[in-house]
Amino acid sequence: MDREKMAQAVHAFLEAIGKADSPGVGRTPERVAQAWYDDLVSGYRIDPDEILTWTPVATGGGVVIVRDVSFASICAHHLLPFSGRAHVAYLPGERLAGLSKIGRVVDAHARRLQTQENLTAGVADTLEKNLEPRGVLVIVRAEHTCMSLRGVRKEQAEMITVENRGVYRDDPAMRSDVLSMLRDGAA
């Protein structure tokens, strides 16, 4: 990523709307470029596969669920933010992830230009590839400012995306059990 080119693009944008020389915006291109580089699209500098470390575990263990992983992302279609929570469940095979690693994987995918559908699938892909679990279920709930600030302007509308893999795709009873735990917050 090139922070200087980002700043130049923001300056060009401000020129295009006639506000490049307005009071208070002199350093805006640099501030915006730094915010995008350091935070909003920092996921491009992170490899989710390297984040997801694991330890061996005996097979036959129960489901692992991490609920309410907050995230913020940028819509690839309008460059506007969306934010929400991810709920991640996996049924370990022989690999168990560190608890903080799930949140880091969500962030690594979220901190890129993204669609919610691709974010949900990306998290599931990373878990499936690195943990080789018997099943993965990822649910992402988010509010999109591209829907609330423009277009239909529907505030508080929420989008929900789901990825089911392995036993959670193939076995409706197992999927139902995990969804119940996610909904009720208890095993």
Does residue 186 have a pLDDT over 70?
no
Count of CB atoms situated within 10 Å of the CB of 67: 14
Report how far apart, in Å, the C-alpha atoms of 71 and of each of 4, 10, 62 are: 27, 25, 26
**Higher-confidence position of 153 and 13:** 13
- For the domain 47-184, what is the CATH code? 3.30.1130.10
The whole-angstrom separation of Cα 45 and Cα 139 is 25
Q: Where are the domains of the chain?
A: 3-40, 47-184
pLDDT tens digits, residue range 103-145?
A: 999 999 999 999 999 999 999 999 999 999 999 999 999 999 9
156, 148 contact by CB (below 8 A): yes
Q: What is the mean pLDDT of the chain?
A: 94
The whole-angstrom separation of Cα 165 and Cα 87 is 14
Q: What's residue 48's pLDDT?
A: 96
Q: How confident is the model at residue 183 (pLDDT cuts 50, 70, 90)?
A: confident
Q: Which SS3 state, helix, strand or coil, does residue 95 take?
A: strand
Residues with Cβ < 8 Å from 162, sequence gap 6 or more?
120, 137, 138, 139, 140
Mean pLDDT for the stretch of residues 22-33: 94
Beta partners for 143?
83, 158
pTM score of the predicted model: 0.92
Q: How confident is the model at residue 175 (pLDDT cuts 50, 70, 90)?
A: very high
CA neighbours within 13 Å on the CB side: how many for 112?
19
- Containing 162, the helix (H) or strand (E) segment is strand 158-166
Does residue 59 have a pLDDT over 80?
no
Phi-psi region of 85 (alpha: psi -120 to 50; beta: other; left: phi over 0): beta
The whole-angstrom separation of Cα 152 and Cα 130 is 40
Q: What's residue 82's pLDDT?
A: 96
**Higher-confidence position of 40 and 59:** 40
Does residue 61 have a pLDDT over 90?
no
Q: How confident is the model at residue 184 (pLDDT cuts 50, 70, 90)?
A: confident
41, 74 contact by CB (below 8 A): yes
Mean pLDDT for the stretch of residues 47-58: 92
Mean pLDDT for the stretch of residues 163-187: 89
Does residue 187 have a pLDDT over 90?
no
Q: What's residue 169's pLDDT?
A: 96
- Containing 127, the helix (H) or strand (E) segment is helix 116-131
Does residue 83 have a pLDDT over 90?
yes
